[in-house]
A and B are shown apart, each in its own frame.
Chain A
């Protein structure tokens, strides 16, 4: 069998082309040079592709980029953003420091923290993007802060998410308005609520939401975790979950995989209360036949966790100019308004809309809002994300407690 293996290797090797030498990117400050260098580049944009709405928006972006900047954008579809982190790491491990396979990555939170810590990102570049000023960073700290960490110009804001609950008004008419009330609600409606299994992003956010409402030591959540205090601060959370789990879907012996899985279970009538990171999620799902039109959205009384998601450029991207051009386009009023439209995606804008030119502001005016969508003013009360170390620590502790049923 040995000769065959060798032959296979040879055959394969003869078909494989080797890497081409790479030319250096212009400095971000020289924007004209960046645009110049971007022409003709192909930008490989790695982005989670579990949602057809995101994919369709990225397709639209790719068309615009080709027409306006002669930059070709290829959506590399991920099922988990961390696999892109793994990819860049593997490239660094192999000494590929200038011809990586990823040019732009959709990222935030712990993935950003990990890439920064391992020096896997290019930057600072955000301040040099002409459209970045439209986010009014001086008055909107959320666009330069990612889970309490300063972005330092290593990632560019793209959109805003906030935990939004939704329920089937045909099944229940009194949805719970706080984490405390949720416990009472599930006792009355056993098996009709759940949250995604940790370490899922949406599920972990539910833990943080609950912790913020249950603990009286909120300040500590915005600092790195101190091991000696962790037990003390989180005790109310575990006590709460111990009480909650027996009344959850499948009696808490199994959890849904992800936020979208929650939506499926709603669609099948297994759950009658769920939540999502996208405020428009339920409305779009109703339009796409996934949920009954009796579904309504709302936000907890004391507010819910929200965060901003970003795009970042790996340190070894060979098309940094193209990637920066793309990041800048994503911040343009036209791209942001299109993204916010329910027909496209329904993801909220990061721009300071009231400071835009009037003609640009008009782009953001929507028609009649969908009955399943949130009322326009509901998102006023946004809770800030704790330090990323809390996410990791909570996930670890949850898995130790509930990871084996």
Chain B
């Protein structure tokens, strides 16, 4: 669907021969190489930094109350949709943003916002910061889910008895075993970061923008012949994403070689203080940034006129909420119903697959790649193809079609967040149940599912958040007729009324937040009298 127009084939527009004009037009774009480099490097750098922060924190984390507190603060961040984080961050770091307001004019002497290019900077630093805010909680949660099966305490205790400092012991004995388990999530992060659209629209460079944003602009160009170039661009985007993945993979191989030297060097304490301090400080910074971004959204949503450099609005008003709330009932219901139905279907499919694999002792490693395809192929590329495909079999835009396309993204994330917990569950639980004469379906309902309740609910909350965050798929497959809180927010963003955008972004963040809260609360209530179940949650 994408490949054909890229080589000039799109009969409706009179393109019924194959040629390379689209590619020539693409190469002729001013700044194409910059767009490509931006997408490539921002994807790799953000993943590297996010992974670095997560690994450093895990190495430093000793299970003290402060570590647990930081951890607990990070998980809700996963719930906040990308667009909301991007809006919040832009409000925070812009020259007229909250940070500058709080220190001006006292510390800076600025009576007017400084004329500095911070948001939309040409190097994409603001975009990378935004991506890191979202990727850190994701990678941290994935790592925390995978860690217990490695019995990290035992490994660290052993290494410490040999004289290694705790942080170094973790890096040398736990991380090499952990990395293979979180490799797929890391790849998904790279793919996402190289092709992200909504965050790049809000925070990314503009002259030129990232490749994905350019492609979207070309697809939407009223000059319909741009479609050919857009399709060529989509193919190029796929290449950029694959190149970034390949680079990462080569890096993995290189580091594996080099690290043998370090692992075996016998160095036991050098750098351990830096790890202990840096790990916590970095993660705490990430968390605080995200929280302040949310606080900024909340402040703007009730702000009257707010002249620079006042630290607070001169008046507060509920006007913006009152104006928005009556019109969001339908979008909220749509968001919720689509998210819940997609999550339910995805949960059934994923649990059925995992149960099938568990019963038949299937390793289920290779075929995973197929599942992750929708996460790796850039959305802008294949969604237009899907629209045409749905049209040509006379399926009109409707809720069910939106649910179906959400499943493409919800299923992988649900699988990603549930499969480790599923495989990690001691097989002896089910063996005991069967040996007591209980049929497999009862063993599944009465043993496996209750034991997995907490991870299952968390996985559902993740997938609900993923569904709520979908913009392009909802817009395109719903034909715009299925408004959700996210499509409303982005449509409103194009009008740029910061206060109304803040209200919508907060509403957008609210639903997944409720989902995550329930995922944490329900197991606590259900297992109030079962100590071990609470510990496991």
- Give me the interface of A with B, judged by CB distance under 8 Å: 1-5, 7-8, 11-12, 15-19, 44, 46, 48-52, 55-56, 59, 74, 76-87, 89-96, 99, 101-102, 110-111, 113-114, 117-118, 190-191, 197, 199, 249-251, 253-255, 257-258, 260-261, 263-265, 267-270, 288-292, 392, 399-400, 402-405
A182–B390 CA distance with the chains assembled, in angstroms: 51
A251 and B396 contact, Cβ closer than 8 Å, known pairs A78-B491, A113-B222, A260-B496: no
CB proximity of B346 to chain A, nearest CB, Å: 9
Residue from A17, A77, A101 within 8 A of B487 (CB atoms): A77
Query: Which residues of the partner chain B approach A264 to less than 8 Å between Cβ atoms?
Result: 496-498
Asked if B180 is at the interface (CB within 8 A of a chain A CB), the reply is no
Q: Are A50 and B31 in contact (CB under 8 A)?
A: no
- Type the 1/0 row for B397-439, where 1 means its CB is closer than 8 Å to any CB of A: 1101101100100010000000000000000000000000000
Q: Are B494 and A50 in contact (CB under 8 A)?
A: yes
A255–B11 CA distance with the chains assembled, in angstroms: 37
Asked if B304 is at the interface (CB within 8 A of a chain A CB), the reply is yes
Q: Are A44 and B481 in contact (CB under 8 A)?
A: yes
A378–B124 CA distance with the chains assembled, in angstroms: 43
Query: Which residues of the partner chain A approach B224 to less than 8 Å between Cβ atoms?
Result: 85, 89, 114, 117-118
CB proximity of B459 to chain A, nearest CB, Å: 16
Q: Are B480 and A289 in contact (CB under 8 A)?
A: no
Within 8 A of A (CB), among B357-378: 367-368, 370-371
Q: Are B96 and A93 in contact (CB under 8 A)?
A: no
Query: Which residues of the partner chain B approach A101 to less than 8 Å between Cβ atoms?
Result: 396-397, 479-481
A5 and B96 contact, Cβ closer than 8 Å, known pairs A77-B491, A118-B13: no
A155–B190 CA distance with the chains assembled, in angstroms: 46
A44–B479 CA distance with the chains assembled, in angstroms: 10
A1 and B404 contact, Cβ closer than 8 Å, known pairs A92-B12, A191-B115: no
Q: Are A87 and B480 in contact (CB under 8 A)?
A: yes
Q: Are A16 and B401 in contact (CB under 8 A)?
A: yes
A79 and B400 contact, Cβ closer than 8 Å, known pairs A92-B12, A251-B115, A269-B307: no
Q: Are A1 and B96 in contact (CB under 8 A)?
A: no
- Type the 1/0 row for B198-213, where 1 means its CB is closer than 8 Å to any CB of A: 0000000011100000
Q: Are B327 and A82 in contact (CB under 8 A)?
A: no
A76–B479 CA distance with the chains assembled, in angstroms: 9
Q: Are B207 and A197 in contact (CB under 8 A)?
A: yes
Q: Are A197 and B113 in contact (CB under 8 A)?
A: no
In the complex, which residue of chain A has the Cβ closest to the Cβ of B411?
A8
Asked if B475 is at the interface (CB within 8 A of a chain A CB), the reply is yes
Q: Are A268 and B404 in contact (CB under 8 A)?
A: no
A114 and B400 contact, Cβ closer than 8 Å, known pairs A74-B481, A403-B30: no
Residue from B113, B222, B303, B352 within 8 A of A270 (CB atoms): B113
Residue from B353, B392, B401 within 8 A of A95 (CB atoms): B392
- Type the 1/0 row for B298-341, where 1 means its CB is closer than 8 Å to any CB of A: 00000111111000000101010001000100000000000000
CB proximity of A327 to chain B, nearest CB, Å: 19
In the complex, which residue of chain B has the Cβ closest to the Cβ of A262?
B496
Q: Are B400 and A12 in contact (CB under 8 A)?
A: yes
Residue from A5, A79, A96, A260 within 8 A of B490 (CB atoms): A79
A292 and B305 contact, Cβ closer than 8 Å, known pairs A77-B480, A191-B115: yes
Q: Are B117 and A250 in contact (CB under 8 A)?
A: yes
Q: Are A83 and B307 in contact (CB under 8 A)?
A: no
Asked if B221 is at the interface (CB within 8 A of a chain A CB), the reply is yes
Query: Which residues of the partner chain A approach B135 to less than 8 Å between Cβ atoms?
Result: none
Q: Are A99 and B396 in contact (CB under 8 A)?
A: yes
Query: Which residues of the partner chain B approach A197 to less than 8 Å between Cβ atoms?
Result: 206-207
- State the 6 A-B residue pairs at the shortest beta-carbon distance, nearest first: A50-B495, A94-B391, A260-B496, A12-B404, A268-B96, A404-B31
Q: Are A2 and B370 in contact (CB under 8 A)?
A: yes
- Type the 1/0 row for B10-47, where 1 means its CB is closer than 8 Å to any CB of A: 11110000000000000000110010000000000000
Residue from A17, A83, A93, A253 within 8 A of B122 (CB atoms): A253
Within 8 A of A (CB), among B58-77: none
Q: Are B10 and A93 in contact (CB under 8 A)?
A: yes
Query: Which residues of the partner chain A approach B259 to less than 8 Å between Cβ atoms?
Result: none
Residue from A86, A270, A289, A399 within 8 A of B96 (CB atoms): A270
Query: Which residues of the partner chain A approach B11 to less than 8 Å between Cβ atoms?
Result: 93
Query: Which residues of the partner chain B approach A50 to less than 8 Å between Cβ atoms?
Result: 491-496
Q: Are A253 and B117 in contact (CB under 8 A)?
A: yes
Supply 11 A–B pairs (Cβ within 8 Å), ascending by A.
A49-B492, A87-B387, A87-B480, A90-B384, A94-B389, A101-B396, A250-B116, A263-B496, A267-B498, A288-B319, A288-B497
Query: Which residues of the partner chain B approach A99 to less than 8 Å between Cβ atoms?
Result: 394, 396
A403–B32 CA distance with the chains assembled, in angstroms: 10
Asked if B395 is at the interface (CB within 8 A of a chain A CB), the reply is yes
A85–B225 CA distance with the chains assembled, in angstroms: 12
Query: Which residues of the partner chain A approach B112 to less than 8 Å between Cβ atoms?
Result: 269-270
In the complex, which residue of chain A has the Cβ closest to the Cβ of B346?
A8
A113–B391 CA distance with the chains assembled, in angstroms: 25
Q: Are A96 and B391 in contact (CB under 8 A)?
A: yes
A91–B480 CA distance with the chains assembled, in angstroms: 14
Query: Which residues of the partner chain B approach A2 to less than 8 Å between Cβ atoms?
Result: 367, 370
Additional pairs, 9, CB under 8 Å, beyond known A82-B222, A91-B391, A93-B12: A49-B492, A50-B493, A52-B500, A85-B222, A101-B481, A199-B221, A254-B207, A291-B305, A404-B207
A91–B396 CA distance with the chains assembled, in angstroms: 10
Asked if B172 is at the interface (CB within 8 A of a chain A CB), the reply is no
CB proximity of A83 to chain B, nearest CB, Å: 5
A99–B390 CA distance with the chains assembled, in angstroms: 13
Residue from A17, A76, A85 within 8 A of B480 (CB atoms): A76
Asked if B220 is at the interface (CB within 8 A of a chain A CB), the reply is yes
A254 and B395 contact, Cβ closer than 8 Å, known pairs A78-B480, A118-B224: no
A267–B496 CA distance with the chains assembled, in angstroms: 11
A2–B487 CA distance with the chains assembled, in angstroms: 32
Q: Are A404 and B30 in contact (CB under 8 A)?
A: yes
A255–B223 CA distance with the chains assembled, in angstroms: 23
In the complex, which residue of chain B has the Cβ closest to the Cβ of A93?
B12
Q: Are A16 and B367 in contact (CB under 8 A)?
A: no
Residue from B206, B387, B498 within 8 A of A254 (CB atoms): B206
In the complex, which residue of chain A has the Cβ closest to the Cβ of B348?
A11
Residue from B121, B304, B391 within 8 A of A90 (CB atoms): B391
Query: Which residues of the partner chain B approach A292 to less than 8 Å between Cβ atoms?
Result: 305, 307
